[in-house]
């Protein structure tokens, strides 16, 4: 699986959009981009994933650049409960099961 | 639909004892994954099992650690002769099909926090 690079930490004001970047410059054509988050001491929570098109669900939007070398997770209206570590993962679309988690970005939403 | 369940949530063992961690996947899920998270670190993959079979154990330490997912009952992660370095949070995840395939997400449990005295 391709390696990802994320900033170690970010702050966001409550109610504003949080934009979390991820670099995956060595991504290959059959690798998906996944985002998870881990709120303190809890199990990771799936947020969203995509291949090359932008995706949106009730939690977030995922913007993937045309060359697929980077992506941005957008939380449109961050709340204090969105404070967590956000992990960007790239995973090949095969029967392989494991996810390789990096260090993630610690997002702190401030009032 | 209940989520992934893990028990116990907290486990304290003395050095040399055995630790057994249990994971009940979500209903209808036959694929189970175990991850370990050391203090202040990210999650590290340990093992991937499908009912009665170990699919990928590339992240498992070579000694003292074993995992099973029997036809009936929960998946068990077993750590023999625990040492202080085994103190960590152990998370289990499940999916209805191999998680590598798009759309088959891993749903994580709340974790078991193992403390070795």
Nearest CA in chain A to B97: A95
Q: Encode pLDDT of A28-80 as tens digits.
A: 888 889 999 999 889 999 999 998 889 999 999 999 999 999 999 999 999 99
How many other C-beta atoms are found inside a 10 Å radius of the C-beta of residue B14? 8
Higher pLDDT, A32 or A86: A86
pLDDT above 70: percentage of residues in chain A:
93
Q: Which residue has the tokens 């410059």?
A: A25
pLDDT single digits (tens) B46-86: 999 998 899 999 999 989 999 999 988 999 999 999 999 99
pLDDT exceeds cutoff 80 at B103: no
Res B1: pLDDT: 54
Phi, psi of B9 (to 5 degrees): -80, -35
Of B42, B89, B93, the CB nearest to A104: B42
For A86, the token pair is: 């956000």
pLDDT at B61: 93
Does residue A1 register a pLDDT over 90? no
Instruction: Name the interface residues of A facing B (CB cutoff 8 Å).
Output: 32, 38, 41-46, 49, 51, 87, 91-104
The answer to whether the Cβ–Cβ distance between B98 and A96 falls below 8 Å is yes
Burial class (CB in 10 A: 0-12, 13-18, 19+), B62: exposed
Name every residue whose Cβ is closer than 8 Å to that of residue B11 and which is 6 or more positions away in sequence: B19, B21, B112, B113, B114, B115
Long-range CB contacts (within 8 A, 24+) of B41-49: B42/A87, B42/A101, B42/A102, B42/A103, B42/A104, B43/A38, B43/A44, B43/A87, B43/A99, B43/A101, B43/B91, B44/A101, B45/A98, B45/A99, B45/A100, B45/A101, B46/B77, B47/B77, B48/A97, B48/A98, B49/B75
* Probe site for chain A from B30, B53, B99 (most A CB atoms < 10 A): B99
Q: Do B98 and A45 touch (CB under 8 A)?
A: no
Q: Tell whether B26 is within 8 A of chain A (Cβ).
A: no
Residue B5, CA atoms < 13 Å, CB-side half-sphere: 8
Distance of CA A98 to the CA centre of its chain: 17
Measure in Å the smallest separation between the Cα of A55 and chain B Cα atoms.
13
| Nearest CB to B110; choose among A42, A93, A95 | A42
The residues, ordered by sequence, that sit 6+ positions from A71 with a Cβ below 8 Å of its Cβ are A21, A22, A24, A33, A50, A62, A63, A64, A65, A88
């Amino acid at each position: 699986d391709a390696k990802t690079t994320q900033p170690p930490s970010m702050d966001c004001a409550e109610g504003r959009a949080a934009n979390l970047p991820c670099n995956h410059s060595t991504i290959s054509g059959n690798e998906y981009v996944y985002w998870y988050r881990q709120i303190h001491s809890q199990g990771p929570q799936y947020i969203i994933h995509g291949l090359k098109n932008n995706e949106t669900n009730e939690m977030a939007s995922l913007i993937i650049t045309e060359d697929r070398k980077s992506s941005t997770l957008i939380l449109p209206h961050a709340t204090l409960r969105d404070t967590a570590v956000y992990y960007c993962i790239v995973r090949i679309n095969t029967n392989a099961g494991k996810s390789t988690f990096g260090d993630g970005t610690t997002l702190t939403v401030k009032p | 639909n209940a989520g992934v369940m893990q028990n116990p949530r907290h486990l304290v063992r003395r050095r040399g004892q055995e630790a057994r961690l249990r994971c009940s996947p979500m209903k209808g899920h036959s694929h189970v994954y175990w991850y370990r998270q050391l203090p202040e670190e990210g999650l590290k993959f340990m093992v991937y099992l499908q009912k009665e079979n170990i699919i990928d154990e590339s992240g498992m330490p070579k000694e003292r650690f074993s995992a099973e997912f029997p036809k009936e009952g929960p998946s068990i992660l077993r750590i023999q002769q625990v040492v202080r370095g085994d103190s960590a949070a152990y998370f289990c995840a499940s999916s209805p099909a191999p998680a590598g395939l798009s759309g088959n997400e891993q749903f994580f449990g709340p974790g078991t926090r193992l403390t070795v005295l």
